[in-house]
């Protein structure tokens, strides 16, 4: 009696479908303009936690992007050295892979973001780049660390190199998750419930914007395609989004699509941090972006999938560094 051929594993169709839209995280987010070195990353980590980068010695990158909150902020908007930030501080985990930085794309990459933070009033608030450079040059340990991180430069302690060091650190803040294992072929990495959530995420249309390596972070989109977003978010003020940068009418209410990696760990949600609940945020997205009234079952399914995007913070990034006196 001939043996019948085993049926194709039921898990394969959803894995094959997922591979059409998503890719696993790489080991590092490389930059041709800022090659990653161990010395640069170590210096960048110290500078990320260095409050003396700010005009009042009270604010560091980690103030708004705290380890305990998955390198994000629990506040809707965070206070910088001199001003309240205009939008919610997104996590910097995996951020280096995004096609632009900030909600409105007014920073081209993590290095550009770090550089402009030095003088931004809602960031470090220095009157000039020279001000912060001169402050660091009075700290002998930093002078030596910059020499090691940028050995071929005559004057390595510059504002540009402060930004490059911080950028190098952020480029290794990569958080692989169970979803990456699944995309690489480990069909048991996700439970059946989570696979159902992935299927729902794809079928209802979330994947149109939230796709790629970061499950988002690779395009712009209007927030409020079917209805004004503020009708549901109850935002304190209406943010015109990328229009602030371009002054083009077609860019009104347009924002960078956020990455959904670690989204379960990084409330509140949306550009203004107006929604605390992930369940509520998903329902709002269904209404204003998809024109759908998602059911509780669909929302719960999607949340089960989103939980698989919670990754492990690199061990070397879990503890803050000891800074020079």
Model pLDDT for residues 245-257, shown as the tens digit of each residue: 999 999 999 999 9
Residue 23 domain-assigned? Answer: no
Residue 70, Ramachandran bin (φ over 0: left; ψ between -120 and 50: alpha; else beta): left
Q: How far is CA 195 from the centre of its chain?
A: 24
| Burial category of 285 from C-beta neighbours within 10 Å (exposed 0-12, middle 13-18, buried 19 and up) | buried
Last residue of a domain, one of 123, 153, 174: 174
- What was the pLDDT predicted at 177? 98
What three-state secondary structure class fits 107?
Answer: strand
Q: Which pTM does this prediction carry?
A: 0.94
Pairing mode of beta strands 254-256, 220-222: antiparallel
- How much is the pLDDT for 111? 98
Q: How far is CA 228 from the centre of its chain?
A: 25
Which band of pLDDT confidence, cut at 50, 70 and 90, is reported for residue 4? very low
Residue 318: the pLDDT is: 96
Please indicate, yes or no, whether residues 99 and 219 belong to a single structural domain of this protein: no
Instruction: Residue 67: give the domain boundaries.
Output: 38-174
| CATH at 118 | 1.10.760.10
On whether residue 192 sits in a domain, the answer given is yes
The reported pLDDT for the residue numbered 12 is: 77
In this prediction, residue 270 carries a pLDDT of 98
Query: Do 52 and 93 fall into the same domain?
Result: yes
Q: Is residue 234 part of a domain?
A: yes
In this structure, the answer to whether residues 136 and 189 fall within a common structural domain is no
Asked whether residue 183 falls in the same domain as residue 280, the answer is: yes
Tens-digit pLDDT profile for residues 83-140:
999 999 999 999 999 999 999 999 999 999 999 999 999 999 999 999 999 999 999 9
* Pair (170, 270) in one structural domain: no
The reported pLDDT for the residue numbered 147 is: 98
Percent of the chain with pLDDT over 90: 96
Q: Is there a single domain that holds both residue 187 and residue 76? A: no
Q: Pull the structure tokens for residue 70.
A: 């998955």
Residues in the chain: 325
- Phi/psi region, residue 258 (left: phi>0; alpha: psi -120 to 50; beta: rest), is beta
Q: Does a structural domain hold residue 25?
A: no
Give tens-digit pLDDT for 268-292. Answer: 999 999 999 999 999 999 999 999 9
12 found inside a domain = no
Model confidence at 6, pLDDT cuts 50, 70, 90, reads very low
Q: Is residue 46 part of a domain?
A: yes
The answer to whether position 138 is within a domain reads yes
Q: Tell me the C-alpha distance between 157 and 145, whole Å.
A: 9
Domain closes at, from 126, 151, 174: 174
Average pLDDT of the residues in 291-300: 98
Is residue 9's pLDDT more than 70? Answer: no
Q: Report the Cα 53 to chain-centroid distance in Å.
A: 22
As a whole number, the mean pLDDT across the chain is: 96
CB 258 within 8 A of CB 217: yes
Residues 212 and 115 in one domain: no
Q: Over the stretch 26-61, which tens digit does the pLDDT of each residue have? A: 999 999 999 999 999 999 999 999 999 999 999 999
Strands (E), the chain: 220-222, 254-256
Count of domains for the chain:
2
Q: Write down the pLDDT at residue 107.
A: 98
CA 192 vs CA 39, 284, 292, 308: distances in Å: 44, 26, 25, 12
Residue 198 belongs to some domain of the structure: yes
Identify the pLDDT of residue 193. 98
- In this structure, the answer to whether residues 61 and 189 fall within a common structural domain is no
């Amino acid at each position: 009696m001939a043996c019948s051929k085993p049926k194709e594993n039921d898990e394969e169709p959803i894995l094959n479908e997922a591979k059409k839209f998503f890719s696993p995280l790489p080991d590092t987010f490389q930059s041709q303009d800022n090659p990653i070195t161990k010395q640069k990353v170590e210096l960048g980590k110290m500078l990320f936690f260095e409050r003396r980068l700010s005009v009042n010695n009270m604010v560091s990158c980690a103030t708004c992007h705290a380890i305990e909150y998955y390198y994000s902020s629990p506040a809707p908007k965070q206070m910088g050295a001199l001003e309240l930030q205009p939008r919610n501080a997104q996590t910097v985990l995996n951020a280096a892979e995004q096609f632009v930085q900030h909600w409105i794309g007014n920073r081209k990459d993590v290095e550009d973001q770090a550089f402009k933070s030095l003088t931004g009033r809602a960031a470090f608030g220095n009157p000039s780049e020279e001000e912060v450079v001169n402050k660091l040059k009075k700290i002998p340990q930093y002078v030596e660390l910059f020499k090691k991180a940028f050995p071929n430069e005559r004057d390595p302690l510059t504002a540009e190199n402060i930004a490059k060091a911080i950028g190098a650190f952020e480029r290794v803040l990569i958080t692989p998750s169970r979803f990456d294992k699944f995309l690489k072929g480990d069909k048991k990495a996700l439970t059946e419930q989570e696979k159902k959530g992935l299927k729902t995420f794809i079928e209802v249309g979330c994947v149109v914007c939230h796709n790629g390596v970061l499950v988002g972070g690779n395009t712009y989109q209007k927030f409020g395609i079917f209805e004004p977003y503020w009708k549901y978010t109850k935002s304190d003020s209406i943010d015109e989004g990328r229009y602030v940068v371009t002054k083009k009418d077609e860019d009104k209410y347009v924002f960078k699509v956020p990455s959904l990696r670690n989204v379960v760990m990084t409330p509140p949600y949306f550009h203004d941090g107006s929604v605390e609940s992930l369940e509520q945020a998903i329902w709002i997205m269904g209404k204003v972006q998809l024109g759908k009234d998602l059911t509780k079952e669909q929302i719960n399914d999607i949340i089960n999938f989103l939980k698989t995007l919670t990754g492990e913070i690199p061990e070397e990034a879990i503890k803050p560094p000891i800074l020079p006196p």
